[in-house]
Amino acid sequence: MAEDNYVAPLVADEWAFPAAGDTRFTWHYDNGRERLLSLYQKGKDKQWDSVRRIDWDLAVDPFDVLGTPEQSLAIYGSKQWEKLGPADRQELRQHLASWEFSQFLHGEQGAMICSARIVEAVPDLDSKFYAATQVMDEARHAEIFAKFLQDKIGLSYPINGSLQALLHDALNDSRWDMPYLGMQVLIEGLALAAFGILRDRTDKPLPKQILAYIMQDEARHVAFGRLALRDYYAQLSAAEIAEREEFVIEGCHLMRDRFRMQEVYENLGYDLAECMEYVDKGPRPRAFRSLLFARIVPCVRDIGLWGPKVRQAYDDMGVLDMANVDLVRMMESDEELAEQIDDEKREMAMRRDEIDEAVRQGALAD
């Protein structure tokens, strides 16, 4: 992505820090958990090419990327919103979409690096196998979001501070399971929920395709984290579990603040204090933030990090009820929707071929 595509100059061209932890080889090539090996096979079977599967020729209006109503915007109805004219509101919509997809892009690069770190550090070969397929998945996702931002929206935002902080914590911890926990459960879980909200709200075919296809991959990634961590955490001491629960609580607070979009309002010169107060207290933004935890909370419960402090933290955030969400069914639905879009595209292609053939036959008859 060209640097001049960013809304402001980058502080640095790259972000680098020494990674902590060991690199682990294993010589047990014949052992593996059936569930993880099955997931690995599925990861191989479900690889796809974004150039061929996505209809990149579909037009996108950069000022109405998702086609969602104005009422869904976080500051809709605020004093700042009422000050905006039609052109200002178009500009805001472009910047909000740019910010969202930019954070998706940065998160996918983080996921690619965390997956590579898992391959390096995890002791079990079956986990190494699956994580290797995820590295390819995340590379594809970063490629897609970068192209969408560059070619269709025309603006990009730097990485959000909350996302950067959690990535740093996950990668800078010497324990091999922390990139799993930080990325597979927290960052991926939140992103997957955000993808789902936008996928279900948009009526624009290109972003709908992109989000649905990426979610099909992400459903496997979350399943990978659940399977591997649930097995491992069942063996840990109470003190070790408490340390990871503290990481989850801190990470969830960072993730709660990740989608406040402060950088957009600041960049556009809005009254930042007023915007952030409205975002923090408004019913629509609060409802949106609650939905973002629909995939994190049941996953945290499932892997065994469900002590009183975690439950209290989720209760304070108003998302404790999300523990009862059927995560498995939700991920199955994500996969089914992607296949449904493929079926619809094939049906439309067949209809176009039939029409073209009828026109050809008519021309021959004349």
HSE-up (13 A, CA, CB side) for residue 69: 4
Using pLDDT thresholds of 50, 70 and 90, give the confidence band for residue 1.
Answer: low
Least Cα distance to 181 among 190, 173, 192, 170 occurs for: 170
Give the mean model confidence (pLDDT) for residues 143-163: 95
Give the mean model confidence (pLDDT) for residues 187-215: 93
Q: Where are the alpha helices (DSSP H) in the chain?
A: 34-45, 50-53, 79-83, 86-121, 125-148, 161-171, 177-179, 188-201, 205-233, 238-258, 262-267, 272-281, 283-291, 296-302, 308-317, 327-365
Q: How far apart are CA 233 and CA 228, in angstroms?
A: 9
Quickly count: other Cβ atoms within 10 Å of residue 171's Cβ. Answer: 20
Give residue-wise pLDDT tens across range 168-198: 888 888 898 998 899 888 988 888 899 999 9
Using pLDDT thresholds of 50, 70 and 90, give the confidence band for residue 10.
Answer: confident
Give residue-wise pLDDT tens across range 305-327: 999 999 999 999 889 999 999 98
pLDDT at 79 over 60: yes
pLDDT at 287: 79
The CA distances from residue 95 to 83, 133, 305, in Å, are 17, 33, 37
pLDDT at 111: 92
Q: 23 or 356: whose pLDDT is higher? A: 23
Average pLDDT of the residues of the chain:
90
Least confident of 2-11, 29-38, 139-148, 310-319: 2-11
Least Cα distance to 181 among 121, 137, 133, 138 occurs for: 121
| DSSP-derived secondary structure letter, 260 | T
Give residue-wise pLDDT tens across range 238-265: 999 999 999 999 999 888 777 889 999 9
pLDDT at 102 over 60: yes
Q: Which residues contact 111 (CB under 8 A, 6 or more apart)?
A: 134, 138, 141, 183, 187, 188, 221
State whether the Cα torsion 212-139-168-224 is positive or negative: positive
pLDDT at 52: 95
On whether the CB atoms of residues 148 and 228 are closer than 8 A, the answer is no
Least confident of 51-55, 259-263, 285-289: 285-289
Q: Tokens 């949106």 — which residue?
A: 288
pLDDT at 2: 57
DSSP states of 36-55: HHHHHHHHHHT---HHHHS-
State whether the Cα torsion 202-207-209-212 is positive or negative: negative
pLDDT at 229: 92
Least confident of 33-42, 48-57, 87-96: 33-42
Hey, what domains does the chain have and what are their CATH numbers?
A: 34-365 (1.10.620.20)
pLDDT at 63: 96
- Please name the amino acid found at residue 277: E
Give residue-wise pLDDT tens across range 116-130: 999 999 999 999 999
* Portion of the chain with pLDDT greater than 90, in percent: 61
β-sheet bridge partners, residue 156: 6
On whether the CB atoms of residues 193 and 234 are closer than 8 A, the answer is no
The CA distances from residue 15 to 59, 142, 159, 250, 304, in Å, are 33, 16, 10, 22, 33
pLDDT at 257: 76
Instruction: Supply the pTM of this predicted model.
Output: 0.90
The torsion of the CA quartet 79, 74, 210, 168, rounded to 10 degrees, works out to 120
Least Cα distance to 17 among 225, 220, 164, 156 occurs for: 164
Using pLDDT thresholds of 50, 70 and 90, give the confidence band for residue 225.
Answer: confident
